Amino acid sequence: MIYGLLAILLTAAVVKILLLKKAAREITDGFADRLKNDTNTLVDISSGDRDMQRLAGCINEQLRILRREHLQYNQGNTELKTAITNLSHDLRTPLTAICGYLYMIRKTEDRDTVNGYLEIIEERADTMKQLTEELFRYSVIVSEEMEMETEEVNVNQVLEDSIIGYCGALDGKGIIPEVDITETKVVRMLNKPCLTRVFSNLLNNALKYSDGDLRISLSSEGEIAFSNTAHKLSVIDVEQLFDRFYTVESARDSTGLGLSIARMLVERMGGTISAKYESSRLIIMIKL
């Protein structure tokens, strides 16, 4: 009787061990296959053992993480290649013009003509300077890992100062901004230089895309909106405006980093930023 019971237990143990070994092989083979092949399927085992199921679950979770990181890497690699192509074009265009006009200067002795060429060269050099400075600012923001220092900031005043600072550039584009800033003092714990940079980038964006109008508002709840007519944009363009290095064909001389920088800074300050396109109007909204 006892020997019979021991034999049954021994048989059950052997069967259990064999099933566990089978499950281990399934996990090993499944994991190797998922790493080798680009597939979204997860490791599946036939064993109902809780520990083996838990092991398979942990491996599947790591596979999900690995796939997300792999996707992010591929996306970043594609963005980098696109960025290099775009930046090469954006920098090469003014540089080629500068070289061409320098050649023309050597061929002429007319002072007025030379002065005209020099003005064009200065304009192209400024374009290159703006592009490289935007890249530098982006690299600094991305590499900055320290916690952002904040202070009590009067959002109304920073927004007003930013608009006044761009009056000349807006006037040069024939844009007379319609401003609606609440009389209620909006105070938030923010980084003032970063908030100024955000407003500057949004105003620059309006200069690039506006068809001649601009409306800026600040509510007593701290909601800020920049809106302008932009017939050259599309819903697809607007969905990608905050992506790194994304540029619309109608906006040259741009790295496509302005709004990406604005998003990073707003989010670091604990706010949100979004964009929508309605009735040919681009609307960028910030909540502080």
Domain identity same for 233 and 138: no
Domain identity same for 158 and 282: yes
Domain identity same for 174 and 127: no
Instruction: Name the domain boundary from 37, 70, 103.
Output: 70
The whole-number pLDDT of residue 213 equals 93
Residue 198 placed within a domain:
yes
25: helix, strand or coil? helix
The whole-number pLDDT of residue 182 equals 95
The whole-number pLDDT of residue 271 equals 93
Phi-psi region of 229 (alpha: psi -120 to 50; beta: other; left: phi over 0): beta
Domain identity same for 49 and 137: no
Domain identity same for 161 and 281: yes
The whole-number pLDDT of residue 268 equals 86
The whole-number pLDDT of residue 63 equals 80
Residue 78 placed within a domain:
no
Domain identity same for 61 and 102: no
Residue 83 placed within a domain:
no
CATH number, domain with residue 138? 1.10.287.130
Task: Report how far residue 86's alpha carbon sits from residue 72's, in angstroms, rounded to the nearest whole number.
Answer: 21
The whole-number pLDDT of residue 179 equals 95
Angle at 193 between CA 187 and CA 196, to 5 degrees: 75
Domain identity same for 96 and 183: no
Domain identity same for 105 and 226: no
* Residue 210 near residue 228, CB atoms below 8 Å: yes
The whole-number pLDDT of residue 87 equals 65
Place of tokens 């400075």: 133
Residue 223 placed within a domain:
yes
Q: What is the dihedral of CA 94, 100, 102, 104, to 10 degrees?
A: -140
- DSSP result, 228-252: EE-TT--HHHHHTTTSTT---TT--
Domain identity same for 63 and 138: no
Domain identity same for 64 and 192: no
Place of tokens 């992010």: 72
Task: Report how far residue 198's alpha carbon sits from residue 248's, in angstroms, rounded to the nearest whole number.
Answer: 20
Domain hosting residue 18, numbered range: 2-70
Angle at 278 between CA 214 and CA 257, to 5 degrees: 60
Closest to 130 measured CA to CA, from 2, 273, 256, 287: 256
Domain identity same for 56 and 182: no
Residue 77 placed within a domain:
no
Residue 75 placed within a domain:
no
Sign for the pseudo-dihedral over CA of 254, 259, 260, 265: positive
Domain identity same for 29 and 139: no
The whole-number pLDDT of residue 249 equals 47
Instruction: Please list the pLDDT of the chain residue by residue as tens digits (288 residues).
Output: 676 666 666 676 666 677 667 777 777 777 777 767 766 677 777 777 777 778 777 877 888 888 887 777 777 666 666 666 666 666 777 888 888 989 889 988 888 888 998 999 988 888 787 777 767 666 666 666 556 788 999 999 999 999 999 999 899 889 999 999 999 999 999 999 889 989 988 998 888 888 899 999 999 999 999 999 888 776 666 666 666 554 544 444 454 567 888 888 898 899 999 888 888 888 899 999
The whole-number pLDDT of residue 53 equals 79
The whole-number pLDDT of residue 55 equals 77
Residue 76 placed within a domain:
no
Residue 226 placed within a domain:
yes
Number of structural domains (the chain) is: 3
CATH number, domain with residue 245? 3.30.565.10
